Structures are given as C-alpha cells and as structure tokens.
C-alpha cells in the first residue's frame, strides 16, 4: 500500500492479519494443525515449498494462539495430536 502515513500502513497490516485470522478460524472445526495448514495453503493458493514451510507454519500457529487467547477456539488432545475446536 503506497502511503506516507504510518497509521494507514499500520491499519492495513492490522486488517490483513485479521483477514488471515478469520480464515484460520474458519478452518478450525475439529481439525489438527496439519489439516489446517494443508487447507490454508490450498485456499491461499500458496506453493508450500519445503523451505517456506517453517514461515507459514509459524504464522498459522501464531494465529491459532491468538484465537485461543481471544477464546474463539480451544484445543483438545486426541489420538496423539491437538485438535482445534470452535468455542
């Protein structure tokens, strides 16, 4: 976003993060991290190259943690993995 105003850029970044957060939220109903990751990269049309996996994995995990802190989702341990459920 071309701008000279830092508040415009900050708001743009906040809006983009909230969009990503809503997308991750929509993927949480009874899914594991791996399932959420796979669907996320598919929906965002991302080529999940091995060298990019850590970057996207960390981003998605941070968004999941934010959703947990916002009390929009919670996780349960099932069959040796965390499953993310909507609240």
**pLDDT of amino acid 78:** 94
pTM higher than the cut 0.85: yes
Q: How far is residue 49's CA from residue 25's CA, in Å, rounded to a whole number?
A: 24
Q: CB-hemisphere CA count at 13 Å for 75? A: 16
**Tens digits of residue pLDDT in 47-79:** 878 888 899 999 999 999 999 999 999 999 999
- Asked if residue 5 has pLDDT above 90, the reply is no
Q: Is 56 helix (H, G, I), strand (E, B) or coil?
A: helix
**pLDDT of amino acid 1:** 65
**pLDDT of amino acid 25:** 98
């Amino acid at each position: 976003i071309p701008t000279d105003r830092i508040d415009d850029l900050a708001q743009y970044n906040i809006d983009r993060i909230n969009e990503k957060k809503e997308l991750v939220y929509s993927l949480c109903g009874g899914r594991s991290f791996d399932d959420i990751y796979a669907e996320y990269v598919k929906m965002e049309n991302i080529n999940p190259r091995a060298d990019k996996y850590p970057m996207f994995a960390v981003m998605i995990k941070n968004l999941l943690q934010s959703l947990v802190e916002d009390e929009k989702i919670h996780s349960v341990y099932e069959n040796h993995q965390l499953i993310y459920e909507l609240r």
